[in-house]
Every structure is written in structure tokens, then in C-alpha cells.
Structure 1
Amino acid sequence: MDHLDLKYGCNPNQGHARISMEVGDLPLQVLCGSPGYINLLDALNGWQLVSQLAEATGLSAAASFKHVSPAGAAVSLALNETERRMYFIGEHEELSPLATAYVRARGADRMSSFGDFISLSERCDLQTARIIKREVSDGVIAPSYEPEALALLQKKKGGKYVVLQIDPSYEPPMLEMRSVYGITFAQERNTAVLDASVLQPIVTQNKDLTEEARLDLLVALNALKYTQSNSVCFAKRGQTIGVGAGQQSRIHCTRLAGEKADAWHLRQSRQVLDLPFLPSLSRNEKDNAVEAYLRSEIQDPGLYFSEDVPPLTDQEKRGILASITGVSLASDAFFPFRDNIDRATQSGVSNIVQSGGSLRDDAVIKACDEHGILMVCNAIRLFHH
């Protein structure tokens, strides 16, 4: 099939929506549901991210996309006890490597992942399908599906859940084109390979790049390649923990990503893990309650909790976050001022990769040295629009 008609474009008033190939057949099949325009943008960006991240790391990879940027992306590092609790995974629930990767990708920012489009780097197994089945999601793309996994997903949303199968051997043409306002744009697609070879040169006094940091920087870089610019990504434990996307100022990217990373760490605190949720709350309602609790925005605790809950004070938050270290950060372009570095340190950043090339590189490097941060300036810009 060389084309696929869609329900509508970005909005219901935009008809005649379709995807098509100039030569040959489409490299994807619809196994269930009716995908929309934005679904496919998320799916195709997400597939590129996870397939390239898996190749760069040798691990299973997954992404949770919303509005053409990843809410989360991750590889398959095993969950510890705290992560199981914060991601609502049972103590004895078995997870395949792929399921683990998706749990991490979804858990990076569960508020933003609500209604996501999922991308999986390899054959979707039953354990991964079971995780997907219980989350609010629009669809999934993978290179193949186990029969039992596909049967389970085809029952989701009363049979309307979007299930896409992508040909993993497909190689797109080097030239990519799109039309804006009746004008055709063309450029070579971004073929930059973001593996361990791009984590050099290290330009700071601190040159101790650990294996853990190396993995996290690769997760962050590959996520940025498919994040709407300007963008900054924080990562830890093989997953993104804060993505600041589509901001006009880089410091706003860093602040947004840092706030999300801070929330990810605060969700692991005893005060949050021990919240006495009402048994009737769904996982998504618990996510909303945690977000409101961390922001001190809960007006009626009885709507969420079975008993009185003391607030998490600003002093307690600062105390928890003050002990955080080992966070990695990637930027899709250079830092124009040291303010980004100073803000990043407030969220425990110890490792940074960015392109470099600013007139103020020396000031940015000096800021890293003052904070003991390792920084790579690899001359690779990753704008994505």
C-alpha cells in the first residue's frame, strides 16, 4: 500500500489527511484502530528514537511521546524497590527488559505521558502489552508483536486502540521534504549517530566519565534528537527524568527540565511513597494527587487520602534535593550563558553534553569547573522542528 487515509489532520476541520509514499509501499501496517495525523508524527519520531537508542546502547528501549516530543524515553535497566513503588509496579510483578524500558519511559513524567503514543525498539511481548493495557494511551508502534500481546492490545479501547507495525529494515531517502504555506522545504535528514563516540572531547577539569553517566548522556542525546527545539534533557538511571521542549530561551528549557527532574526525585521521598491514597483512586488520579501534593495545591485532602497528610514543606524539599547528585544533562545546542549551569546544579547535575560554539564557552566551562561538573562539547547540534 502506497498511502493511508487518516481521520483528519492536526484538527478536525483539517480534512483530506493522509500519508503516502512517492515510490514503493508504506513501511508500516495498521494492525488495529484508525491512526490520526498526530499519532503518526509521534509514532514515526518515536520509532526513530528507540531504534537508534537501542543500537547506541545495546539495550531494549522505549519512548512515551506526546505532541511530537518525548514525555519520556528509557532503556531497560532493572527497577529497584523505590522505582517499583513510584511507578505502581507490584513487588513480585515480572517485567521483561522491554516492559522495564516502557515502565521507565512512562514513569519519567507520568502527568505528561497521559494519553501517550508508545514506541518500542523490539518485538512487543506479553508483559509489555499488559503494562500498556492498563495505562491511558493512544497507540503503540513496534517492529512486531507476539500473538498473545497483539490479541491483548486489540481489545484495548473496545478494539479502537491504534497498533502499528513498522518494518525495521526500512531506510528512508536521504532527502526529506515537507510543505508549509504551499512552499516545499527540502533538506538531508539528520543521520547523526549518537553513540559513545560523540561523548568527547571533555573540556572541563573533571574528566571522570563513569559508565552510568555515559549511558545517561546517550539516553538524553538520543531523546533530544527527536524533541522539539529548543530543548534540554535531564537523565538518570537509564531514563529521561525531565525534558524541557519547545522553549524560545535555553534557560527556560533548563528550568522546565530541572523542575520535572526535581519532581522525579521528590516522588521517591518517603513522604510521597507513603501517601495513604484512597483505594478507589486510579493510577492516573494518584499521579494527579502526587503532582498537587508536591505543589502544595491540594484543597480537599479527603478527595485523595484516607487520613490527614502533613504537607511537604519547602524546607523538606530543599533538604531532599540538596543530596541529589549524578544527574546527566544534554542540550540540543550551545549554552549562551552560565545561568544554565548554575540552574542545573540545583537539580544535582554532574555531567553535561552540549555542542559548544558559544562566544561565552569559556565562561560556561569555568562555571562547570566551579561546580565540579564534567562537560563534553562535541560540536553536534540537534535542532528538531
Structure 2
Amino acid sequence: MSVKRALISVSDKTGIVEFAKELNKRGIEIISTGGTKKVLEENGLDVIGISEVTGFPEILDGRVKTLHPNIHAGLLAKREVEGHVQALQEQKITPIDLVVVNLYPFKETIAKENVSFGEAIENIDIGGPAMLRAAAKNYQDVTVVIDPSDYHKVLLAITESEVTNDFKQQLAAKVFRHTAHYDALVAEYLTEQAGERFPETKTVTFEHEETLRYGENPHQQAAFYKKAFANESSLVHAKQLHGKALSYNNIQDADAALAIVKEFTEPAAVAVKHTNPCGVGIGDSIIDAYHRAYAADPISIFGGIIALNQEVNQDLAKKLSEIFLEIIIAPSYTDEALTTLTKKKNIRLLEVPIKQNEPEEKLQTVSGGLLIQDEDQYSEDILELKVVTDRVPSEEEWIDLTFAWKVMKHVKSNAILLAHGQQTIGVGAGQMNRVGAAKIAIEQAGEQAQGAVMASDAFFPMDDTVEAAHQAGISAIIQPGGSIRDEDSINKCNEHGIAMVFTGVRHFKH
């Protein structure tokens, strides 16, 4: 079916004048509204005002202009249904064959600093989505365009008389995706303003960032999507300075490394493999922190991801280039450091602001459903911790205990972590029982366990983990407490002269 009449009403006027001129050259009649009509007329185009079609003025400061039967009947009438065609003729309504609409900038409005609630409300589009949905519903008779990047393809199809049903269906599907995304942002904003935490329905929406080569394994397809308002210090805002595109697993690991390094304000370095920390260190300088993270597990760091919370200088770059790393994440790099690191073809260099984000919801899909929880950003001040043993930790032990507690919450449960000198020395992750996790961490630490501290993400169900700690030479333990058999663990610590601290807070990570 040929295109004879088009309706154009856009907030984003990118390319619209050129597009409309091309329509005009092809003899297509143009209807338009308000600001769009003004722009088109200023550029020499002959445009029919919406009020000429509806016989009704635009009123209520533009809130009502296209919500009229003369518009929506022209969009929804099925051309192959005789009764629909007859109704249009009786009511003297001309069909609309092409709709070019994009919506009030609601997302951009609420992104502005200190935007008022009233301004946000006025940028909720009503007539635009109604026209888009009507046209998209009737896509077999109406071509609907929401994205300026599609203008060229639509013009080409009109010129070649190849506006196929398949093409129109693709455009219609894009419309419904867009309006669903738009409505989801509005719903989320109003729900937050109303203070509702877990409403009766939940619609989450993300924007396509890139299609990935594959997922966790080569036989799995995958893509990366971003939140509409992702935190500034999140991976979606990373600037990639060097290297090939990130993989699915790279993104998972990089996100885990970022979460850990954000725990620290002092110079910190984090090495991650398979989303678990294999080495974490803090120091007086960033290179000192890296040396500690590397020494924590020089085997596992190979092929891993390093996150740093300070600028990478030339001295550190030389050290980093000595081993194979998948990714380096840092807030900045000196020019000399970039020159050194970019000599390695296969390394990816990411620049990300390193700062603690506002807590956000964590989403986890399960078969047929979705789990939602707050992000685990609970931090424990040292003065709130409770010493439950006869012996009180020394000043050095307190430093290591709080360091270990910060890192341990990022280890998959069951989790046990050993630390000494503000450096991880043993990590037991994802085990089916706690003493098993402890044995892995102790074995990894070896002789370094002597005088080290132990952190546990959840309470000890029995005293066997304390016994294992004693045999390894652990001097202090930090754990949530709360077991019905806490006294067994406390007594075992007292028996062996181990200091133990309860946090009262569990940090499971599944």
C-alpha cells in the first residue's frame, strides 16, 4: 500500500526536516503538531496543522491535541475491512499511512539535578504513546517510526515501494519495546516517589549496550544491557582504553573486582578470578597494595582481573605488564603507563571512577521468576563489634580483622578468609561446609597462617572450625555469631588463647 498521508510529531528533531522534505518530494501529505509543525514550516515545508484535522484546538497547554477520533480512527481503521473503510468515509476521516513520533523526554528530565516532581509529571507523554500504539497495532496498514536512525530505511522502502509487512512488523515491535521501556521508567519513578518498596508488580527495563560473542560458554548466546540510570562508578560507564571487547565472564569478574575495591579509601588492589577475590592488599601506596595482592596468590592471579583505586603510574605499569592479566581497572592511567601497558595486545584497560555507589537493588533470575534484594553494603564500625572471648584482639589484629571482614563478604558462601598485614593470604570459597572452606584457606596460606586472622561470612555451627584455626596458628577470628552452639566456639577459643569477635551481621553470597 502506498503512503499518501504522514503524521509527524517529535520531541527529538534529529534529522526530521530532511526526512520530511524527502516525504514532501514524494507527494506525501504531512500533518504535524505544535513545535514540530513550526520547525517544518520554518524550513519551507507545507504542513497541515493537527487542529485542521481534528476540528478542535490544542488545549490545556498542549496536554490535549492528538487524542481525537479523527486521528485514531485514521490510524486504527483496517483497510481491508469494508465496514472500517465505510465508517471513515461517513465521518469524512482520511486514513494516516505513516506515523513518525517520539516521546516527551521523561528519562532526560528526571536525570536532571533537582528536577521538581511537577516538571517530571509534565514530561509524561500521553498522546504520543497512544498514537504509536494505535499505529503499531495496525502495522499492516500503517508504517510507524519512532527511531530517527530508521528514517533512511523507511525512505528507501517507500521509494522502492517495498514497505513490506515484515519491515512494518519490525518497526511496530520496536515501538512496543520503546513504549514499554518508557512506561517502566515512569512507573519506577512514581513508585519511588510514593515510597513503595515491593509493589504488586515489578517491571524492570534495561538498554542494549552490546551483543557479546557468547555467554559463559561458547554455545550460549549473550548480550550486555545497562540500567537507564546506572551509577557513575559502575561498569557500564567504564571507558575502555585498550583491548578487545569484554566477554560475558569478563564483565562478571570485572563487576566483582569493582565491588571489592570500592570498600577501601586507602590504596587498594584486588585480584579476581571467577568472581572470587584471589588476592587483596592495601598499603601506603598503590604499588605497595598491588605487591600485597600479587603475593597473596601469585598462581591464581595469572589470567585474572586487577582493580585498583588509584592512578596507575609507570612503575606500577611495569609490574602489571610482567604477568598475563585479562583486565586492569583503575580510575586513571598516566601517559607513560598507557604506553607500557598497550604494548600488550591482549590486555583490556578500563577507566572507571572508583567510589562507593548508592545502594541499589540486586536482581537474580530463577526458573520462572525473579528475586530482588538490597545490595549488601552493610559496613560495620569497629566500635560496634563485640569481643566474646577472654582475650581481646591486639591493635594489629583489629586492623586485619576489619580488613578481612570487608573482603570476606565478597567471597561466595560458605566463605572463610585469612588475612595478615592487610593482605589476604588464604581464601576458601563456595564450599558445602564451613570447616571445608577453612581447610582450603588454611592450606593456601601455609606457614603464613601463623599469627593471621580468620573471617567467616556466617556463624560456626560447631567448634571444628576454631580447632582447625588453632592448629594453623590463627590468632583472632571475626564472625557473625548467632549459633545455638556459640558457647562451644567461644570456649574453644578461650582454651587456645584465640581472640574472637562477633559482628551480629551475616554476609552470605550465593
For Structure 1 versus Structure 2, the TM-score category normalised by the shorter chain is: 0.7 to 0.9
Secondary structure in structure 2 of the residue aligned to 1:140? strand
Q: Give how far 1:125 is off.
A: 1.8
Residues 235-244 or 188-197, more deviating: 188-197
Q: Does 1:231 align with 2:437?
A: no
Give the 5 Å matches for 1:335-350: 335-350=460-475
The equivalences for 1:1-385 within 5 A come to 3-23=209-229, 26-33=236-243, 34-52=245-263, 54-55=264-265, 59-76=266-283, 97-156=285-344, 158=345, 160-169=346-355, 171=357, 174-198=360-384, 200-207=385-392, 209-262=393-446, 265=448, 325-385=450-510
Letter in 2 for 1:243: V
- The unaligned stretches of length 5 or more in structure 1 are 78-96, 266-323
Partner of 2:77 in structure 1?
A: none
- Hey, what's the Cα distance between the residues in 2 that align with 1:192 and 1:8? 34
Structure 2 residue identity aligned to 1:42: D
Query: Partners in 1 of 2:217 and 2:241 — Cα distance?
Result: 24
Q: Which amino acid aligns with 2:487?
A: D
1:219 positional shift = 2.1
Distance 1:46 1:182 in 2: 30
Give 1:296's aligned residue.
none
Deviation at 1:7, TM superposition (A): 2.8
Cα distance, 1:197–1:165 mapped onto 2, change above 3 Å: farther
Aligned residue for 1:346, secondary structure, equals helix
Distance (whole Å) between structure 1 residues aligned to residue 422 and residue 322 of structure 2 = 23
8 Å contact from structure 1 (residues 217, 329) kept in 2: yes
Q: Is the 8 A contact 2:313 2:337 kept in 1?
A: yes
Instruction: Give the Cα–Cα distance (whole angstroms) in 2 for the partners of residues 173 and 340 of structure 1.
Output: 33
TM-score by length of 1: 0.73
Residue 201 of structure 1: how far off its partner (Å): 0.6
CA–CA distance in 2 between the matches of 1:39 and 1:177? 19
Structure 1's 247 and 170: CA in aligned 2 closer, same or farther, altered over 3 A?
A: closer
CA distance in 2, matches of 1:168, 1:70: 17
CA contact (8 A) 1:225 1:384 kept: yes
CA separation in 2, counterparts of 1:339 and 1:62?
32
1:194-238, Cα deviation, whole Å (9 max, x unpaired): 45345x21000001x222212211221111111111100011111
Looking at structure 2, the residues matched to 30 and 370 of structure 1 have their Cα atoms a distance apart, in angstroms, of 54
Alignment CA distance shift 1:6-1:155 (3 Å): farther
1:380 offset after TM fit, Å?
A: 1.2
1:70 alignment partner AA: P
Deviations 1:294-352 (A, max 9, x none): xxxxxxxxxxxxxxxxxxxxxxxxxxxxxx74211100000111110010112210111
SS in 1 for 2:219: coil
Contact map agreement 1:230 1:245 (CA 8 A) in 2: yes
| Paired letter, 2:370 | T
Distance 1:28 1:330 in 2: 32
Counterpart of 1:49, as a letter, is I
In the alignment, structure 2 segments of 5+ residues that lack a partner are 1-206
Contact 1:3 1:21 in 2 (8 A): no
The verdict on how the C-alpha distance between 1:127 and 1:23 changes in structure 2, with shifts beyond 3 A counting, is same
Q: Is the 8 A contact 1:27 1:170 kept in 2?
A: no
Q: What is the root-mean-square deviation in Å for CA atoms of aligned residues? A: 1.9
Q: Which SS does the other structure have where 1:18 is aligned?
A: strand
Counterpart Cα distance in 1 of 2:461 and 2:356: 38
CA shift, 1:60, in A, is 0.7
Equivalent position amino acid for 1:64 in 2: A
User: Equivalent residue of 1:115, what SS?
Assistant: coil
- The alpha-carbon distance between structure 1 residues 49 and 194, as it changes in their structure 2 partners (threshold 3 A), is farther
Distance 2:465 2:451 in 1: 17
2: CA distance between counterparts of 1:170 and 1:231?
Answer: 23
Instruction: Indicate how the Cα distance of structure 1 residues 130 and 341 shifts in structure 2: closer, same or farther if over 3 A, else same.
Output: same
Residues 340 and 170 from structure 1, CA distance in 2 versus in 1: closer, same or farther, beyond 3 angstroms?
closer
- How far did 1:384 drift? 1.3
Q: Which amino acid aligns with 1:51?
A: K
CA distance in structure 1 between the partners assigned to 2:480 and 2:229 by the alignment = 36
Alpha-carbon separation, structure 2, partners of 1:241 and 1:230: 17
Structure 2 residue matching 1:252: 3-state secondary structure: helix
CA contact (8 A) 2:239 2:352 kept: yes
CA distance in 1, matches of 2:446, 2:324: 24
Aligned residues: 299
Structure with greater contact order relative to length (CA < 8 Å, sep ≥ 6): 1
- CA offset digits 1:73-98 (Å, max 9, x no partner): 11116xxxxxxxxxxxxxxxxxxx11
Q: 1:2 to 1:27 in 2, by over 3 A?
A: farther
Do the aligned partners of 1:353 and 1:375 also contact (CA within 8 Å) in 2? yes
Q: Encode CA deviations 1:164-215: one digit per residue, 9 max, x unaligned.
A: 11133573552121323352221111121245345x21000001x2222122
Contact 1:64 1:72 in 2 (8 A): yes
Kept in 2, the 8 Å contact 1:352–1:376? The answer is yes
Identity %: 35
